[in-house]
Amino acid sequence: MSERFANKTALITGAGSGIGAATARRLAQEGAKVAVVDIDAAAADVVAQRIKDAGGEAISLVADVTQSSQVEAAFQETLRRFGRLDVMLANAGVTPCLSPVGDCPEESWRHVLDVNLTGVYLCVKEALRPMRRQKSGVILATSSVAAHTPMPAGIEYSVSKIGVVMLIRHVAVVYGGEGIRAIAICPGWVDTPFLEPVWDAVGGWTGRAALRASAPLGRMATPEDVAASIAFLASDEASFVSGIAYTIDGATTAGTMVRQSPIIRGYLSMRAGVRRLIGKSTPRMRP
């Protein structure tokens, strides 16, 4: 594998599992020194040790991203150990209560926004300090396709993720002149433990199969799929990519849900009937 991140340092939050862990391993494989940050100390230790066993360099750090003092301490320790910060992925997040806004408990609203949005804000602030001194760096944050399309449940999650997109765009515009790029990562359905509450809500394996089928590519993403895209975006190969919400969803948001809506299906049925009356064939549209 290439050494795109040789002599570079990356800090990743929520790196004890899922997308964060896969990204930590991927960047380390490509030469980065990685700070594996998670609220779960044991999970962070496992990921960091796996990187070291593979010949990479990593440290594990514990931080609750909602606490500014803990975030600051994690960044300071990373700088003390590695001397610089080139890539930061704010990835820590929590799932919502899976209800519409009228039924969303205030506790869930505050907790999800605190972790998913305020946590990103605190990490961005800390990352900007060394990157502005260096006049270089890449700031990434995990948003979601839920930032683009209203969902029937989990409103606090969608609001937190669109907030991440705007925060990242702000950073890209304001600090681009100082050599800093910023990108929001917007995955679709990714097969990670993070989605266990969703599987429970949509009917276990039956719901899982339905969600898998919703992507035109016919599957959910793996954490490694997302990590590969992040590695590209964080590398110098993407040196002119900044200020965007980068979607990784197997074309799910490209029109599948619209195609399956009752209104569109009704229109297509009516159109097919008209074409039959005038003697023209109509291609069959699959679900």
Residue whose C-alpha is closest to residue 35's, from 83, 2, 69, 68: 83
3-class DSSP assignment, residue 187: strand
Instruction: Calculate the dihedral angle through the C-alpha atoms of 146, 149, 152, 158, rounding to the nearest 10 degrees.
Output: 40
Residue whose C-alpha is closest to residue 13's, from 133, 132, 130, 93: 93
Cβ neighbors of 22 (< 8 A, separation 6 or more) are 222, 223, 224, 226, 227
CA–CA gap between residue 155 and residue 96 (Å, rounded) = 8
Residue type, 24: A
CA–CA gap between residue 24 and residue 75 (Å, rounded) = 16
User: Which residue in the list 157, 175, 246, 267 is annotated as catalytic?
Assistant: 157
Beta-bridge partners for 36: 12, 60
Query: Is 157 among the residues known to form the active site?
Result: yes
Active site residues: 157
